[in-house]
A and B are shown apart, each in its own frame.
Chain A
Amino acid sequence: MRTIVVYKWARAAASAVVRQGGQVDWGGARLAAGEDDPAALAVAQALATQSGDVAGLTIGDGETAWALARGADAAHAVPALGPLTDNAATAKALASAVRQIAASQAVDVVVIGDATADPGVAAALAAELGWPALLGVTSAAPAGDRVTAARRVGNAIETVSLPTPAVLAVAAVGEEARAPGMMELIKARKKPVAQLTVEAPAEGVSQRATRLPAAAGARLFEGDADTAAQALVAALRGDGLL
């Protein structure tokens, strides 16, 4: 299967700060490979194991060779696109890039990290492309011209069969199994990365307000152990819990 893995398309969540009022301050956060990106690449590679290839797609500057260092066969970058704050605009830009890649060779599956900080991108990307999407995927394998994907639903594993072309959003279940070594990184840097041009979409969705999740109040019972224990018991009784 010809698979595209989308990587380094979101701002580094570790650089975001949740401010006292609940608003998320992204400051100067740069685009970075997210924690789901290695899992997305692993799924893409599993889909291309028997036949086909994996091409990477990234936006912005920075480490464009990330997927090449991890075994992708080719990489495409849209360097002029900076971090987009609007999930819909990000999806629109990615869809435009996918269509450009698919113009020369059909694409069967697009795999993208199911990033919690940007939850709308994968579904919007599928909508832009007019393809089916499956979110929360943990593994996938080709099955003829279809894809069999698994995802965790509660304590169960749900197996879903999708027609292609399709978008799979992959959620990491652990750390990257093996980071590439220095030589792999250097070799990847020497490989060409195809440059694409995509017009920056208008960012139409803006975040107008946020609120902090309701926090449970905490009460501190001070004093020696006996006093604190008695106060705790009294409080529990007062709340009707004892």
Chain B
Amino acid sequence: MDVDFDVIVVGAGVAGCVAAHQLATAGRSVLLVERGAQVGDKALSGGVLYCRVMEQIFPGFLERAPVERAITRNCLSFMNSDSFVNIDYADDRLGAPVNAVSVLRAKLDAWLGEQCEAAGAMVMPGVLVDRLLLEGGRVLGVGAGEDELRCHVVVAADGVNSFVARDAGLRDPDPPRHLALGVKSVIALDRSTIEARFNLPAAGGAGGLAEGAAYAVVGDCTKGVGGGGFMYTNLESVSIGLVLRLDDLARSGETASDLHDRFLDHRRVAPFLEGGELLEYGAHLVAEGGAAMVRGLVAPGLVLVGEAAGLALNTGLTVRGMDLAAGSALAAAKCVDAALAAGDCSAAGLASYEAALRASFVGRDIETYRRAPAFLEGTRMFNDYGPLLADVFHGVYNLDLSPRRRLVKTARAAVKASPVRLVDLARDAWAAMRAL
């Protein structure tokens, strides 16, 4: 078959850039197409990147790439209307080696695009691929307006709403309960203010990187809507927002923007942001279905990577997407390269990708946390456990001259006073152990 490129990668996010970089490095002719006017233009602000996989792909990643802060402090927060219970975990070991960093995607993706060009890929921003070229179920290339380009393999890295995957018949629209709306603000604050408010050491102890914090918040921040809040520090800004399960959001009648504003105005959150200046505000659809969203990764002449493949993981403690995107792209690139070498880019020729993905950290983690979405759908997590925990601690710390009770009795009294029954507690603890 006469082709213009060996591989065309659609979408220049983390997954697309890693796939293009790896295939170009392997000597394949690669076109990386991006709809944004520049690589990084369409990415919404950033996130916490679990970056060990990036070190494998780009040696010296932490020294070379535009990362913001090494995350050495993690907080799991149960937020109630008038209380805030935190499990606050800071550890020097998280800085040696650094495995999690905050990133701003406009900067990171632009850098990734440069690595692709340096590796020999042709990076073409400003082009909206609007169709697949199909013949007898075989993907032959892509179309954009009047133009068509042919290739041996298309790598779809066009995000959670992947039209490429739908065009190929690999993915039906996902049900709303598998999707969530992320709504986020980026608030500018000066560096020393961030370090003081988030209790971060000023001197970089994490391989020379500035240290940062990440909060995962459940409870009243979503006003009972399935999902949670997040807050993490960049070098000179704080990213904060909510992830709201679409079905629950629609059922609640709330608006994402109102819930977002309410979260930021909470009296335990507002002081983190006081005096800050809004730099960016936006919303983005995210995959939340976990293992249930990963299906049909390969068609003749086509592989899916990153969120286009349904790869995202919310465990309640960590929210992961970028590392899974990179890991899937790494696995896909190896298999596509092997298929090209064998001259067989049929579904059978590309099928090794599914097995490679399952065997990689991506597939294993998706499998490990396959029960997490169902566990996190439980309403007690959002409505009841925060107040219950606050009541337990209130019983411990509120020394009002009444006779003290042992902790177990205090906790039992708090459970008795809450809508959570002991049997619920046992059931949820069991479910948490199985899911997380």
Contact = CB atoms under 8 A, between A and B. Distances in A.
Contact of A189 (B106, B122, B188): B122
Interface stretch (B76-84, B141-149, B214-222): B141-149
Q: Which of B106, B126, B146 has the most CB of A within 10 A?
A: B126
Interface string B36-72: 0110000000000000000000000000001000000
A182 B122 CA distance: 12
B122 A12 contact: no
A181 B148 CA distance: 10
Contact of A182 (B66, B110, B149): B149
A30 B147 CA distance: 28
B266 interface: no
A182 B38 contact: no
Contacts of A20: 277
Contacts of A19: 188, 277
B125 A186 contact: no
Interface string A26-41: 0010101000000000
Contacts of A189: 122, 124
Contact of A28 (B107, B124, B126): B107
A62 B33 CA distance: 15
A102 interface: no
A15 B33 CA distance: 21
Q: Which of A61, A181, A182, A185 has the most CB of B within 10 A?
A: A182
Given A17-B279, A19-B277, A30-B38, A186 B122 contact: yes
Contacts of B106: 15, 28
Contacts of A181: 144-147
Interface in B103-136: 106-107, 110, 114, 122, 124-127
Nearest to A32: B38
B147 A183 contact: yes
Contact of B145 (A30, A63, A182): A182
B4 interface: yes
A182 B148 CA distance: 8
A67 to B, nearest CB: 14
Contacts of A12: 38
B336 interface: no
A179 interface: yes
Contacts, number: 42
Contacts of A62: 38
A182 B147 CA distance: 6
Contacts of A179: 126
B144 A182 contact: yes
Interface in A51-70: 61-63
A12 B31 CA distance: 24
A19 B147 CA distance: 42
Interface residues of B, number: 23
A19 B114 CA distance: 29
A32 B124 CA distance: 14
Contact of B124 (A17, A30, A61, A185): A185
Contacts of B38: 12, 30, 32, 62-63
B184 to A, nearest CB: 16
B110 to A, nearest CB: 7
B127 A182 contact: yes
Nearest to A62: B38
B120 to A, nearest CB: 12
Interface string A62-83: 1100000000000000000000
B110 A30 contact: yes
Interface in A167-208: 179, 181-183, 185-186, 189
Contacts of B107: 28
A32 B38 CA distance: 8
A185 B126 contact: yes
B125 to A, nearest CB: 7
Contacts of A17: 279
A15 B277 CA distance: 16
Contacts of B4: 186
Interface string B269-287: 0000000010100000000
Contacts of A61: 114
Contacts of B277: 19-20
A182 B188 CA distance: 38
Contacts of B146: 181
A20 B277 CA distance: 7
Contacts of A63: 38, 125-126
Contacts of B31: 186
B121 to A, nearest CB: 11
Contacts of A28: 66, 106-107
A95 to B, nearest CB: 27
Contacts of A185: 124, 126-127
Interface string B136-179: 00000000111101000000000000000000000000000000
A24 to B, nearest CB: 13
Interface string B290-317: 0000000000000000000000000000
Interface of A: 12, 15, 17, 19-20, 28, 30, 32, 61-63, 179, 181-183, 185-186, 189
19 contacts: A12-B38, A19-B277, A28-B106, A30-B110, A32-B37, A63-B126, A179-B126, A181-B146, A182-B33, A182-B124, A182-B127, A182-B144, A182-B145, A182-B147, A182-B149, A186-B31, A186-B124, A186-B149, A189-B124
* 10 residue pairs, one from A and one from B, having the closest CB atoms: A182-B147, A181-B147, A183-B147, A182-B144, A182-B127, A20-B277, A181-B145, A185-B124, A28-B107, A17-B279
Given A20-B277, A32-B38, 12 more contacts: A12-B38, A17-B279, A28-B66, A28-B107, A32-B37, A181-B144, A182-B124, A182-B145, A186-B4, A186-B122, A186-B149, A189-B124
